[in-house]
Amino acid sequence: MKPNLQVALDNNTLESALADVREVGNIVDIVEAGTILILQEGTKAVKSLKALFPNKTVIADTKCADAGGTVAKNMADAGADWMTCICSATIPTMKAANKEIDEIQVELYGNWTKEDAQKWLDAGISQAVYHQSRDALLSGETWGEKDLNKVKMLVDMGFRVSVTGGLNVDTLKLFKGVDVYTFIAGRAITKASDPAKAATDLQNEIKRIWN
């Protein structure tokens, strides 16, 4: 199956996010209200994105760590289809969240183990987001064999895995042969001189590699 393309909107204001998503929302498969944007604007950001793109999957990247039921209900009420929980959240938090919204994605940061991942699956959560942290990327780290092996392990376990962090049309091919569920791009789309072309180029490269 062709991996999805997701645009991450990590803007400081709703207005700037709307300007960034205007030309690309209908090209990508999934529109993400990024953590920065939600922390700035609240659920107004999620509501606005769902209002503009009712037929796209809208993700609230809350990285929820606690009070999963309340946060998930709030995000679902605002129009989010899926929501993220941080991997260090407890299983009760993830389960509580999973009851209130269509799907939960586990955001992988820091220490987590295969045993943790199995617990998430056992709790009914089958999406994970594998990250290169933006700050880690700024410190010079990049995608490597270690990352790809972890992604493959998660896919083999039964997760649908989204990958994100420093992705562009040149780095997609690193994932050839891996059943990635979704590629998440932020600045590679929104900061391009022609964002619609950048999104289309990414979609075409995904189709070329995973045809």
- DSSP assignments along 89-133, one per residue: S-HHHHHHHHHHSSEEEEEE-SS--HHHHHHHHHTT--EEEEE--
Stretch that binds its own copies, among 18-26, 133-141, 153-161, 174-182 (CB under 8 A): 133-141
Q: Which is nearer to its own copies, 135 or 170 (CB)?
A: 135
| 160 lines the binding site for its own copies (CB under 8 A) | no
Angstrom distance (rounded) from CA 16 to CA 34: 13
Angle at 193 between CA 191 and CA 198, to 5 degrees: 75
| 88 lines the binding site for its own copies (CB under 8 A) | yes
The residues pairing with 9 across neighbouring beta strands, listed in sequence order, are 33
Q: Which is nearer to its own copies, 28 or 96 (CB)?
A: 96
Q: Out of 20, 32, 41, 100, point to the residue binding its own copies (CB under 8 A).
A: 41
| 146 lines the binding site for its own copies (CB under 8 A) | no
| 67 lines the binding site for its own copies (CB under 8 A) | yes
| 44 lines the binding site for its own copies (CB under 8 A) | yes
How many residues appear in the chain? 211
Angle at 24 between CA 36 and CA 132, to 5 degrees: 45
The encoded tokens of residue 166 equal 């420093």
Chain residues binding its own copies by CB under 8 A are 10, 12, 35-36, 38-45, 62-71, 74-75, 86-90, 92-93, 95-96, 107, 109-113, 116, 131, 133-136, 138-139
